[in-house]
């Protein structure tokens, strides 16, 4: 399952709830075609990695998070492990390698 985060408060709560689990967040917008293409495979990842938390943030709804992480282009994927941010690749295979190395 993929959770949807729409504010800084929801984001902070999710990271706190996650504890030491890996959290993967896809920043996207409904109007973004590359985001739609990425979603086709991103939406399959929770089944492959049930011990990882997957979330999505619509950049049109969460401007506070866009500003905090200085997101200038989408799609944009960030990983968080123990509260530490790790930039991820938008490439499926590279992202899977990074998830494997961090989980």
Strand partners, 28: 58
pLDDT computed for residue 1 by the predictor: 85
Whether 103 shows a pLDDT value over 80: the answer reads no
Distances (CA, A) of 61 to 46, 64, 75: 23, 9, 15
The per-residue pLDDT for 10 is 93
Contact of 75 with 38, CB cutoff 8 Å: yes
pTM (predicted TM-score): 0.91
Q: What is the CATH number of the domain that holds 87?
A: 3.40.30.10
pLDDT tens digit sequence for 52-99: 999 999 999 999 999 999 999 999 999 999 888 888 778 888 999 999
| Residue range of the domain that includes 38 | 2-102
Q: H or E segment at 9?
A: helix 8-18
Q: Which residue, among 70, 75, 64, 85, has the nearest Cα to 22 in the 3D structure? A: 85
Active site residues: 32, 35
Split into its structural domains, the chain has a count of: 1
Spatial neighbors of 94 by CB under 8 A, at least 6 apart, are 88
């Amino acid at each position: 399952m993929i959770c949807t985060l729409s504010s800084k408060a929801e984001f902070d709560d999710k990271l706190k709830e996650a504890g030491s689990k890996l959290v993967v967040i896809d920043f996207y917008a409904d109007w973004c075609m590359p985001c739609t293409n990425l979603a086709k495979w991103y939406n399959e990842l929770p089944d492959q990695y049930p011990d990882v938390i997957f979330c999505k943030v619509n950049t049109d709804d969460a401007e506070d998070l866009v500003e905090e992480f200085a997101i200038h282009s989408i799609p944009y994927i960030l990983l968080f492990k123990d509260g530490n941010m790790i930039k991820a690749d938008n490439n499926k295979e590279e992202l899977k390698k990074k998830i494997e190395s961090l989980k």
